[in-house]
Amino acid sequence: MRSPLASVALSCAAMSSQPPEPPLAEGSPALPGFPPPGTRQEGGGCLKWGLIGCAGASVLLIGGLVFLGTKAPDLLEGVLKQKQRDVLAACAPDVGEDAKREFNDAFKPFLDKAKSGKVAINQITAVTTKTEAALTDHSVSAQELKELTEAIKAAP
């Protein structure tokens, strides 16, 4: 017994001038208009370009991490110097020159140690956090400058 699809195909083929196509085997996944199973298009397709794109993104990511790793001390130095300038510029008029000089004298060795990696990151974070807290009102009092100087001197 023939399937209804095969019967229709045979009757349509009889009306056309072309020879009939052989009937499909039972359970065959091939449908009219689609290539038969087993044939495959040659070429790269989207998988090839996807792999090339991922490889390019990986190269950029690794390059960026290497760049960041080599420039990290310079970036840290720039941030700390900016904090130092901000604190000195925001000192209240009642802050004496001796207190400013003491802060500057304590900050220079701290900056050198931080740049060379001899100061732990949590201590650097503590100093920058105290600096930000002192700068919240855009004015650094003599007491705040003294506390900042002590925090900087406490870092090894």
Predicted local distance difference test score (pLDDT) of residue 86? 92
d(CA 3, CA 5): 5
Please give the backbone phi and psi of residue 64, each rounded to the nearest 5 degrees, phi first.
Answer: -65, -40
* Contact present, 86 and 136 (Cβ < 8 Å): no
Predicted pLDDT of residue 120: 87
pLDDT digits (tens, 9 = 90+) for 2-19: 666 666 555 655 555 566
Dist CA 59 CA 53 (whole Å): 10
pLDDT tens column, 36-64: 666 566 665 678 888 888 999 999 999 99
pLDDT of the residue at 47: 80
**Predicted confidence band at 74 (pLDDT cuts at 50, 70, 90)?**
confident
pLDDT confidence of residue 59: 94
Q: Is the pLDDT of residue 27 over 90?
A: no
What confidence category does residue 77 fall into, taking pLDDT thresholds of 50, 70 and 90? Answer: confident
User: For 97-147, how does the pLDDT look when each residue is reduced to its tens digit (9 = 90+)?
Assistant: 999 999 999 999 998 888 888 888 888 888 889 999 888 888 888 899 999
Closest CA to 114 of 127, 133, 131: 127
Q: Which residue(s) pair with 132 in the sheet?
A: none
Query: What pLDDT sits at residue 101?
Result: 92
Tell me the C-alpha to C-alpha distance, in Å, between residue 19 and each of 14, 53, 96, 138. Answer: 8, 48, 107, 92
